[in-house]
Chain A
Amino acid sequence: MRKVKIYVTLRESVLDPQGSAVMGSLHKMGYGEVKDVRIGKYLELMISDEARDIDALVNEMCHKLLTNTVIEDYRFEIEEAVSQ
């Protein structure tokens, strides 16, 4: 079994109103040194060992469903995991 950790982030060209709102709050709380906040997503997938080419598989799933490449970038890591 392998654990795939996928990090999804908004592309730099895309405004992040949620991140801006959080930055506003941080500033109000006195953390003026924060210059930018971008909010993304983190996904974990458990994938069985018999899966075909795992990199290709994850990329395919990211393009078809997990991310929208018009506005999002992603990267992922693969770890060996002990199945339960």
Chain B
Amino acid sequence: MKFAVIVFPGSNCDLDMYHAVKDELGEQAEYVWHDATDLSHYDGILLPGGFSYGDYLRCGAIAQSSAIMGEVRKAAEAGKPVLGICNGFQILTEAGLLPGVLLRNKNMKFMCKTVGLKVENATTLFTSEYTDGQEIQIPIAHGEGNYYCDDATYEGLKQNNQIVFSYADDFNGSRNNIAGIINERGNVLGMMPHPERAVSDLIGGSDGLALFKSIVKQWREANVTHA
């Protein structure tokens, strides 16, 4: 499976993402610059964390208007897996590919630590290797991870089972502790925690690896025919 790691000016988790896919997962990964205009030969799209365009205007707002996002939208429409982590999640909400928005943490602090996450929906193509309700440990590193949406949107998310991860504890003010959501179709996931930083015990934990394994497994089942 071939992944594109989209790189914006100010992305800083692109190497982690690349490493997770290439070295821990053993799949193909390539960096793709934000002004590229073709993603058709990739099977999965990864939007890494960081501070694209210095978080100017609003986090993710300027990246959202870059050339590559038209291609990301096309990939999403084609049903390819699109995963946005941290700043990648912020970009996906600004682009309208996911509902809601990420606000400043309620305590105004940038927070960098490992937190407990609950897998709320283990039936998505990103989480099939987890179990419903499973508690996992994943690092966070954000100043604007306070998920906000209006009541109608929240009810929709709940009804469609679009809340995929929630925090075990409230520390950033996110509505109902939401840490990650998926689109209605089920192929675009955005999350603030960093599974790509938890792919090996050597770096402090491997609870994030199952997320990437889920994507690959799903893709193989759909695309690889066994002789």
| Residue ranges of A at the interface with B (Cβ–Cβ < 8 Å) | 13-15, 17-18, 21, 64-66, 68, 70-71
Contact = CB atoms under 8 A, between A and B. Distances in A.
Contact of B101 (A15, A21, A71): A71
Tell me the dominant secondary structure on chain B's binding face.
loop
B149 A70 contact: yes
A13 B153 CA distance: 14
The list of the 4 closest CB pairs from A to B, nearest first, reads A70-B101, A17-B106, A17-B104, A71-B101
B101 A65 contact: no
A70 B100 contact: yes
A62 to B, nearest CB: 12
A71 B94 contact: no
Interface residues of B, number: 22
B108 to A, nearest CB: 5
B221 interface: no
A58 B64 CA distance: 19
B75 to A, nearest CB: 21
A68 B91 CA distance: 12
Nearest to B99: A70
B107 A17 contact: yes
A21 B61 contact: no
Interface string B95-117: 00001110111111000000000
B162 to A, nearest CB: 16
B203 interface: no
A15 B103 contact: yes
